[in-house]
Amino acid sequence: MEKKNHTATEFILLGFTTNPVTQQVLFVVFLVMYALTLVGNCTLIILICNDSRLHTPMYFFIGNLSFLDLWLSSVYTPKILMTCISEDKSISLAGCVAQFFFSAGLDYSECYLLAAMAYDRYVAIAKPLFYSQAMPLKLCVFFVAASYLGGFINSSIITKKTFTFDFCNDNVIDDFFCDLIPLVKLACGGKEGYQALMYFLLTSNVITPIMFILASYLFIITTILRMCSTQGRLKAFSTCSSHLISVTLYYGSILYIYLRPQSSYSLDTDKIISTFYTVVFPMLNPMIYSLRNKDVKEALNKFFK
């Protein structure tokens, strides 16, 4: 396409495919996943709020994780559904900025929250008799507030830097949402120092929480190995299993996209992986934290009775 000399005022989201039949199938698939995400996370939040047995630090964090997943899924999925059934694939510059800001802020916040949950699991296993005293409500609220604050401060920085570019080469985003890598590819200048900023934000929002989680689980494993009872070890591992699954799925998809060599970048592959942590992961989280959880099952039975 011929290069333009003005900054784009809107973008075109190509989405996943231009085939009408495939688009209709994807619309149904994403609609079902979004409905499951809303029902699953809302149900979990309601159970945690209503059942006194779930008024513990662990479920306080799980409830906030569900709230984040609700919000995160709602940033992406409605626009995906619109692009699947509408011929108009455009998104305004303001809409793109808002989607980028909230998606980055919520993703970063979730990274911090998962790290706080790892510390909570360490305290629960290492100091079970003093769990309530070591994790008071004020400390839990502080962790959650710090997660949101840190996430959205970093999101403000990266959003401001990204949208000071002139998007004058093209306005077609080969993706289903306004993501970092496709937007940077559209910029026609002023990229000096951007990669250093991106690596700094990646380190502070992804690598640092991962190191904190790994350190927490190193202490957890050390504590478990010191236990004399086999049953106690199995129970301790079971307590951490849901969080471990959640961390592995979430961080694995993010690290795959942003830390692999540039020579191996594939937009089609990135779309699939991005779909996982933006749409699929918020749907799976309620199942991960409830299907194997006896307290949640009992609270659900009580709620329906």
CA distance 287 to 44: 9
Please list the residues that pair with 92 across neighbouring strands: 10
* Rounded percentage of the chain residues whose pLDDT exceeds 70: 91
Phi and psi for 172 in degrees, rounded to 5?
A: -100, 115
CA distance 96 to 93: 5
Q: Model confidence over 35-47: pLDDT tens digits?
A: 999 999 999 999 8
pTM equals 0.88
Beta strand 90-92 with 10-13 is antiparallel
Q: Model confidence over 9-28: pLDDT tens digits?
A: 778 887 777 777 888 888 89
Contact 13, 176 (CB under 8 A): yes
The answer on pLDDT for 287 being more than 90 is no
3-state secondary structure of 13: strand
Q: Model confidence over 213-267: pLDDT tens digits?
A: 999 999 988 888 887 777 777 777 777 888 888 888 888 887 777 766 655 566 6
Q: What is the pLDDT of residue 264?
A: 56
Q: What is the pLDDT of residue 250?
A: 86
Q: Model confidence over 69-127: pLDDT tens digits?
A: 999 999 988 888 888 888 778 888 888 889 999 999 999 999 999 999 999 999 988 88
DSSP 20-44: HHHHHHHHHHHHHHHHHHHHHHHHH
3-state secondary structure of 235: helix
Q: Taking each helix axis from N to C terminus, what angle separates 93-126 and 230-258, rounded to the nearest 10 degrees? A: 160
Task: Check residue 163 and report its DSSP letter.
Answer: T
Q: What is the pLDDT of residue 199?
A: 79
CA distance 174 to 102: 20
Which string of b and e fits 56-92 if b means at least 16 CB within 10 Å? bbbbbbbbbbbbbbbbbbbbbbebbbebbeeeebebe
Q: Token digits for 37?
A: 């995400």
Task: Check residue 81 and report its DSSP letter.
Answer: H
Query: Which residue's entry shows tokens 């471990």?
Result: 244
Q: Domain 10-304, what architecture?
A: Up-down Bundle (1.20)
Map out the domains of the chain as residue ranges.
10-304
User: Mean pLDDT across the stretch 270-276?
Assistant: 78
Split at pLDDT 50, 70, 90, the class of 5 is: very low
Nearest-Å Rg of the Cα atoms of the chain is 21
Split at pLDDT 50, 70, 90, the class of 6 is: very low
